[in-house]
Amino acid sequence: MQLKKSKSVRKVLAVATTSLLSGMAHSANSGDNSWEMDSAVLFYSEADRVSVIEPVVSLRKDMGDEHFLNLRFVFDSLTGSSPNGAIKTSSAQTFTTPSGNSTYITAANETPLDSTFHDTRVAVNAEWEKPLNKTTKVTYGANISKEFDYQSLGVSANFSWDFNNRNTTLTAGAAINADTINPVGGVPTGLTAMSASKLTTGSDDTKTVTDLILGVTQVINRTTLMQLNLNIGSDSGYMTDPYKILSVLDGSGNLRATDPYLYEKRPDSRSRQALYWKTVMGFSDDVLNLSYRYYWDDWDVSSHTIEAKYRFSLGDKQYIQPEVRYYLQDKANFYYYNLVDGAIPTYASADYRLADLKTTTLAFKYGIDLDKDSEFAVRIGKMNQTSNGDAPFEDVDATFVQLNYRMVF
């Protein structure tokens, strides 16, 4: 035998052997009954406003034969104040709480915040992943989430197909969620006056959220991977925030004398689309993650999101990762900073999250492998949300810390 490249045989063989034995190491684990756990706790705090503590535990178990069970538990605890939608004025303002049982006062020249805002949420998500054959896989999911005034139930199915020597993956998925809201004090009739004896349409209302997702992931070369997703969604039902109001000004720019605050009202249907592109590139030990998302819907909201993360390896076991994210949004066609007496539209909301908006997030992550089966990471960041149009709402500044621990047990 005259091997052309006889010197390289051992190296090529070593690589081939690694993929042979590690390929099966994956299945060899199937019988060992171990769980993979990913736990995280997020501390999020907006200056003078909302604070959130959110622990999340994800569990994944290999059930053998490439079947996996994934479980995810989320517990949210939210405290603090949230803008109620009214504008700040040169004199103190008095508002009725949603229950109608009490009032709160906002001082002159301050953004009105509803300080009765507090909530806890528990959510559980379960998924069952199973192969249909060697290149196709289906994942069924179910989720339930509960807050004191909100319930959500959902199911999903996802199909993925690898082909082109596993260099290309096509995915198709569908999800449907049925939500019920039971606002404190009933569901206010949209665009009617905030008062202790408000008009309501009932004690609860419902919403249905449907999503379809189509995606393709392509291995470009040994160091580059690209993903393109199209998401088409349709919502119907009650999408209004029952606790948010709008200020109504008279012709001279002052709050009108009677019924100065109206409950907001949003359309009862929405169709949404989003295109998402992501690329992951490896540079020896470092990894660059770039993504762009374009979103648009028939409320005329559209947004661009650009995100970049670069992971620097510090030796074998540690890494640092700076992250930057920029979000730019065009407002909904029924967003108003305030309403004007005599020109009350069919739909209106003063929720700043529907306004012309710009959000910048900077974060920094550090991760370390503690041993073969566990990993710890901490991520610290700052976020700024600011008006990008005429609406003079105040900036929202937030800081967050996320601790993450992953282990196999």
Partner 1 sequence: MSFDIKQDEGFWRGEFQSMASPCELLIETDDESLAYALTKLAFEEASRIEQKFSRYRQDNIIYKINNSQGKKISVDQETALLLDYADQCFQMSDGFFDVTSGVLREVWKFDGSDNVPSRNKVKAVLPRIGWQKVNWQSPDFTLPEGMEIDLGGIGKEYAVDRTAMLIRAHSDNSVLINYGGDLYATKPKKNGNGWLIGIEKTGIKPAQIKNKKRTSIKEFQLIQGGIATSGDVYRYLVKDGIRYSHILDPHTGWPIKEAPHSITVVAESCIEAGILATLGMLNGKAAKKFLQAQGVTFWIN
Give the binding site for partner 1 (CB under 8 A).
1-10, 12-14, 16-17, 19-21, 23-25, 27-28, 32, 66, 133-135, 165-166
Least separation in angstroms between CB 69 and partner 1:
19
253: left (phi over 0), alpha (psi -120 to 50) or beta: left
Question: Which CB, 24 or 275, lies closer to partner 1?
Answer: 24
Least separation in angstroms between CB 7 and partner 1:
5
Per-residue tokens: 86: 């009214």
Per-residue tokens: 210: 């449907």
The distance of Cα 222 from the centroid of its chain, to the nearest Å, equals 31
CA angle 350, 354, 357 (to 5 degrees): 110
Question: Which CB, 5 or 222, lies closer to partner 1?
Answer: 5
Distance CA 242, CA 85 (A): 11
Question: Which CB, 62 or 264, lies closer to partner 1?
Answer: 62
Least separation in angstroms between CB 130 and partner 1:
14
- Give the CA radius of gyration of the chain: 26
Question: Which CB, 8 or 195, lies closer to partner 1?
Answer: 8
Instruction: Return the closest-CA partner of residue 49 out of 79, 77, 92.
Output: 79
Least separation in angstroms between CB 175 and partner 1:
29
Least separation in angstroms between CB 62 and partner 1:
13
Least separation in angstroms between CB 215 and partner 1:
22
Least separation in angstroms between CB 14 and partner 1:
7
Least separation in angstroms between CB 408 and partner 1:
12
Least separation in angstroms between CB 64 and partner 1:
12
390 close to 369: Cβ distance less than 8 angstroms: no
Question: Which CB, 36 or 341, lies closer to partner 1?
Answer: 36
> How many other CB atoms sit within 10 Å of the CB of residue 137?
20
Question: Which CB, 135 or 203, lies closer to partner 1?
Answer: 135
Bridge partners of residue 36, in order along the sequence? 60, 408
310 close to 291: Cβ distance less than 8 angstroms: no
Site of tokens 């979103």: 295
Distance CA 58, CA 29 (A): 19
Per-residue tokens: 32: 């060992």
Question: Which CB, 132 or 196, lies closer to partner 1?
Answer: 132
Least separation in angstroms between CB 19 and partner 1:
7
Question: Which CB, 135 or 254, lies closer to partner 1?
Answer: 135
40 close to 32: Cβ distance less than 8 angstroms: no
| 3-class DSSP state of 20 | helix
Distance CA 141, CA 123 (A): 13
Question: Which CB, 25 or 155, lies closer to partner 1?
Answer: 25
Distance CA 155, CA 178 (A): 9
Distance CA 393, CA 337 (A): 8
CA angle 5, 11, 15 (to 5 degrees): 125
DSSP 348: B
Question: Which CB, 62 or 205, lies closer to partner 1?
Answer: 62
Q: What is the DSSP string of 267-284?
A: -SEEEEEEEEEEEEEEET
